[in-house]
Amino acid sequence: MGFDTTRPHPARVYDWMIGGKENFPADREAARRILDLHPEARRAFVENRRFLGRVVTHLVKRGVRQFLDIGAGLPASGNVHEIAHALAPGTRVVYVDHDEIVLAHARALMAGSDKVRIVAGDATRPREILGDPVVRHFIDWSQPVGLLMVALLHFVSDEQGPARIVATFRDALPAGSFLAISHGVVEGWEDRKEEIRQVSQAYVRTREEIAGLFAGFELLRPGLVDVVNWRPAGPAAPTVLYGGVGRVPTAAVPRWAAR
């Protein structure tokens, strides 16, 4: 992906939605079209960012000290390493994105920390991300990892295989690792999927389809829910994004071995 600012780009549209400044007229126009289709979309994106914050806080409190954030997005308020470092300053974070603009901003704003790394990578090529030297060596693969795919997988088409992507990462994660996903949901208005895709570039999915992405993980309470209902600080109106966190199970100890 290059620096074409005349066409809307998901990262910059999202940036505008959550109050950032790294966006251009084409992005703002696209954002307005999304808001015409769904006036509550802006609040949904803000709530998504809050969900991300609550997830990182929760995982750090559970002892996670390294995060792999795929589809990191433009640096904005509440970046993963800032939230994590407020609780555990030694936490390592690798940000991955496929967008050159995101990467350039991330390098300029975040690469100063020795606890942060920025990697160019495409989620649809998970083996390449897992094989990246920074991902291999900055992450300690013998310790639990917090894998974040927040507002990412709805940019992956069925043909690109979101379940295959998640499964490839799952098989690489140490036991006790976590995966967080948030994803655009279409409960009740499936007939508008194509319209949504054209306006927002997002492949929204049903709750059941999103739940299927957690195959092989144990879902933490409260399960896959509207992002506002995932361990909320208080009540909030529903959005169009569902989120959840799954844990890679620790290998079951056979009974004969446990004796």
Which residue ranges make up the site for ligand SAM (CB under 6 A)? 10-11, 14, 48-49, 52, 71-73, 97-99, 102, 122-124, 150-152, 155
In sequence order, the 6+-apart residues with CB closer than 8 A to the CB of 84 are: 56, 60, 67, 91, 93
Nearer to ligand SAM (CB atom), residue 177 or residue 182: 182
224 and 207 Cβ atoms separated by less than 8 Å: yes
**In the complex, least distance from residue 219 CB atom to ligand SAM, rounded to whole angstroms:** 19
**In the complex, least distance from residue 142 CB atom to ligand SAM, rounded to whole angstroms:** 26
Q: Nearest to residue 23, comparing CAs of 3, 45, 5?
A: 5
CA 247-210-124 angle, 5° bins: 85
**In the complex, least distance from residue 6 CB atom to ligand SAM, rounded to whole angstroms:** 17
Nearer to ligand SAM (CB atom), residue 40 or residue 255: 40
Quote the tokens at residue 111.
Answer: 């690469």
- State the Cα–Cα distance between residues 76 and 105, nearest whole angstrom: 10
The residue nearest ligand SAM at its CB is 73
**In the complex, least distance from residue 221 CB atom to ligand SAM, rounded to whole angstroms:** 21
The 10 Å Cβ neighbour count of residue 57 is 15
Nearer to ligand SAM (CB atom), residue 8 or residue 144: 8
- State the Cα–Cα distance between residues 46 and 25, nearest whole angstrom: 20
- State the Cα–Cα distance between residues 238 and 227, nearest whole angstrom: 8
Place of tokens 């361990």: 231
Nearer to ligand SAM (CB atom), residue 9 or residue 170: 9
**In the complex, least distance from residue 25 CB atom to ligand SAM, rounded to whole angstroms:** 19
**In the complex, least distance from residue 48 CB atom to ligand SAM, rounded to whole angstroms:** 5
